[in-house]
C-alpha cells in the first residue's frame, strides 16, 4: 500500500512502481471512475489497440479480453511456425 497526500488542486501522484507495473508513462491518459467504496484508476486503452503490435486498427478479433489485429494474428502465426522448426 502507498500513502499519498492530496495537493491543493485535489491531485495525487501515482507511485513510480505502480506506473512501471501498468506501463503508465508521462502524457498517458488514465480513466478515473468509482463505485460505492473505491476510486478506480485504469490506464486508458482505445477500444481497438492490438495487444501484440500496439497499433490502432478496426481490423482484427477480440480474443478473451484482448483485441488482436490481423497483423498481430499473422505475427503470432509466424512465431508458432518458427517454433515448430
pLDDT at 46: 77
Separation CA 23–CA 59 (nearest Å): 25
Cell of 82: 518458427
Q: Please check the confidence at residue 7 and state whether its pLDDT lies above 90.
A: yes
pLDDT at 85: 75
- Mean pLDDT (the chain) is 92
Cell of 66: 484482448
- Averaged pLDDT for residues 23-44: 94
In the chain, where do the E strands start and end?
30-34, 39-43, 60-63, 66-69
Global pTM reads 0.55
Amino acid at each position: 500500500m502507498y500513502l499519498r497526500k492530496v495537493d491543493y488542486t485535489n491531485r495525487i501522484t501515482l507511485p513510480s512502481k505502480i506506473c512501471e507495473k501498468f506501463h503508465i508513462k508521462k502524457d498517458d491518459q488514465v480513466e478515473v471512475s468509482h463505485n460505492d467504496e473505491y476510486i478506480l484508476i485504469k490506464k486508458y486503452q482505445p477500444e481497438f489497440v492490438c495487444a501484440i503490435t500496439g497499433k490502432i486498427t478496426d481490423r482484427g478479433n477480440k480474443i478473451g479480453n484482448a483485441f488482436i489485429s490481423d497483423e498481430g494474428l499473422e505475427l503470432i502465426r509466424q512465431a508458432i511456425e518458427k517454433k515448430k522448426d
